Amino acid sequence: MWLFDQMLPASPGYDAPTVVRVRGPLSIAAMDVALDRLVTRHDSFRTRFPRTGDGVPVQVVDAALAARPRWRYLDLAGLPDQRRLTVAADVVRQAAARPFDLDRGPLWYAAVIRLGVDDHVLLLGMHHLVADLWSLNIVIDELSAAYRAASHGGALPAPVPPAQPAGLALRQRDRLTPARLDRLRRWWADHLTGVRPVALPTDRPRPPLPNLTTYCHEGQLPPDLADALRRIGHQHRVTLYATLLAALNTLVAGWSGQGDLLTVSVTAGRHGRAAEGTVGLLTGCLVVRVDTTKAATFAALLPVVQEAVVDALDHAALPFADLVAHVDPGRDLEPSPLRQLGFSLHNTPSASAEFPGATIGALPPRQDAWPRGVSEADLWWEVFDHGTGPLAYRLQADDRLFRPDGPRRVMSALRQLLHTVGRHPETPLSRLAPVALPRPAPAGSGQVPPMPAAATDHPLVEPAPAHLRHAVALLVTEVLGIAPTSDEDNFFRLGGTSMDAVRLAARLAADLGAEVSLYELMTTRTVAGMAAAVHRAQRDSVTRSSRTSWS
Confidence of residue 546 (pLDDT cuts 50, 70, 90): low
pLDDT on residue 53:
85
pLDDT at 4 over 80: no
Q: State the Cα angle at 191 between 189 and 197, rounded to 5°.
A: 90
Q: Hey, is 71 helix, strand or coil?
A: coil
Tens of pLDDT along 484-502? 999 999 999 898 988 999 9
pLDDT on residue 420:
96
pLDDT at 77 over 90: yes
Q: What is the spatial distance between Cα 345 and Cα 348, in angstroms, rounded to a whole number?
A: 9
Which residues lie below 8 Å from residue 366, measured CB to CB, with a gap of 6+? 86, 89, 90, 92, 93
pLDDT mean across residues, the chain: 85
Are 216 and 395 spatial neighbours (Cβ–Cβ below 8 Å)? yes
Query: Which sign does the torsion angle of CA 137, 106, 96, 81 carry?
Result: positive
Confidence of residue 262 (pLDDT cuts 50, 70, 90): very high
Per-residue pLDDT, averaged over 169-195, amounts to 90
Tens of pLDDT along 334-373? 788 988 999 999 887 677 788 888 888 766 655 454 567 7
Beta-strand pair 341-346/379-384: parallel
In this structure, which topology does domain 209-351+366-431 adopt according to CATH?
Chloramphenicol Acetyltransferase (3.30.559)
Tens of pLDDT along 11-35? 655 676 888 899 999 999 999 999 9
pLDDT at 177 over 60: yes
The answer to pTM > 0.85 is no
Tens of pLDDT along 56-69? 999 999 987 776 77
Tens of pLDDT along 505-526? 999 999 999 888 888 888 888 9
In this structure, which topology does domain 455-550 adopt according to CATH?
1.10.1200
Q: Among residues of the chain, what percentage have pLDDT more than 90?
A: 52
Q: How many CB atoms lie within 10 A of CB 486?
A: 10
pLDDT at 459 over 50: no
Q: Which of 189, 418, 460 lies closest to 298, judged by CA?
A: 418
Confidence of residue 429 (pLDDT cuts 50, 70, 90): very high
Please tell us whether the domain made up of 2-161 is placed in CATH 3.30.559.10.
yes
pLDDT at 550 over 80: no
pLDDT on residue 264:
95
Do 209-351+366-431 and 455-550 agree at the fold level?
no
DSSP state of 456: G
Backbone angles phi, psi at 149, to 5 degrees: -65, -40
Tens of pLDDT along 122-132? 999 999 889 98
Confidence of residue 42 (pLDDT cuts 50, 70, 90): very high
pLDDT on residue 509:
92
Torsion, Cα of 37, 40, 44, 46 (10° steps): 120
Confidence of residue 116 (pLDDT cuts 50, 70, 90): very high
pLDDT on residue 542:
66
pLDDT at 447 over 50: no
Q: Residue ranges per domain, the chain?
A: 2-161, 209-351+366-431, 455-550
pLDDT at 283 over 90: no
